[in-house]
Amino acid sequence: MTTVARLRRIIGLLALAAVLGACSAIKLGYNNLDDLAYWWLDRYVEFSDEQALRVRDDLARLHLWHRTNELPRFVELLHGVEELAPGDVTSAHTCAVFTQVVERLHATAEQASPAMITFAMSLTPEQFQHLERKYARNNDEYRKEWVRPEPEEVADKRFKLFLDRSESIYGSLDEPQRAVLRRQVGQSMFDGQRLLAERMRRQRDALQVLRKLATERVSFGEARSMLRGYFARVQEPPDPAERRYQQDLIEEGCRNFASLHNSTTPAQRQVAVRRLRAYQRDLGELAGQQ
């Protein structure tokens, strides 16, 4: 994964940490996220001493901004989800929540853009080589995990992943509900090879943007436009068929979550409500920590 993509992933973690996990372990992780992000990024580019100081400062500022400005928004978002949880939902409900998370991700990306641009302009040829080797290894790991195994093995892995995520919300699922998950996985349009190809397209795209920022004299406005263009192409691939496929996967996920939720019992939904309230409480505490 390239530096731009990796920074975007860090931004995503800021969002996901807020939405998916307000337990004490996640609170500890969130409070140390700027340090974790630094070491994660360093594995991809091997910072120079000068870069290291600047990146640490930039991540600390982004983290503080996110804590102050974005965590309260996630409390509001989770409150809206809590109000939906006791009843049945539609795929439109779940996609609306997804859209709100993406909007928060975009807001944080905009906040991070100046630091991302400054850092990209400082990349050296050696760091580009290190990046290419690193994400090539990551792609090999993805192939081993999601492309090379037999379809039955991939389906089993995806079922276990979705089961763990679902039970983190509702508590233990019974066998009919697990059957819903198995059926969803079996009917999914997931295609590991196709997703890998899109992943590699994004990496090539990001490398092109990074190299232009690192080697050409562009204004800050031009640089910001280039970065926004990259993010737009991540959200909506240039190829119409791939753009439709990505949207279809999102809509499939919305339908599947709504279907699973509607299969849950009142007791399971109350578990979800209690956890959502706990998340809101913990996010409020995190937001108050400066």
**Nearest Cα residue to 237 out of 203, 190, 207:** 203
Q: What is the pLDDT of residue 3?
A: 40
Q: What is the pLDDT of residue 120?
A: 96
**Inter-residue contact 214 to 120 (CB < 8 Å):** yes
- The tokens describing 95, both together, are 């996609």
Q: Is the pLDDT of residue 261 over 50?
A: yes
Q: Is the pLDDT of residue 172 over 90?
A: yes
Helix %, strand %, coil % of the chain (to 5): 85, 0, 15
Mean pLDDT for the stretch of residues 276-283: 89
- For 116, what's the count of Cα atoms within 13 Å in the CB-facing half-sphere? 28
Q: What is the pLDDT of residue 289?
A: 82
The C-alpha atoms of residue 103 and residue 269 are separated, in whole angstroms, by 27
Rounded to two decimals, what is the model's pTM? Answer: 0.88
- The tokens describing 212, both together, are 């232009």
At residue 24 the predicted structure's pLDDT band, cuts being 50, 70 and 90, is low
Mean pLDDT for the stretch of residues 25-42: 84
| Three-class HEC string of 127-143 | HHHHHHHHHHHHHHHHH
Mean pLDDT for the stretch of residues 32-56: 93
Give percent of the chain with pLDDT exceeding 70: 91
Q: Is the pLDDT of residue 274 over 50?
A: yes
Average pLDDT, the chain: 90
Check residue 172 and report its DSSP letter. S
The C-alpha atoms of residue 129 and residue 3 are separated, in whole angstroms, by 12
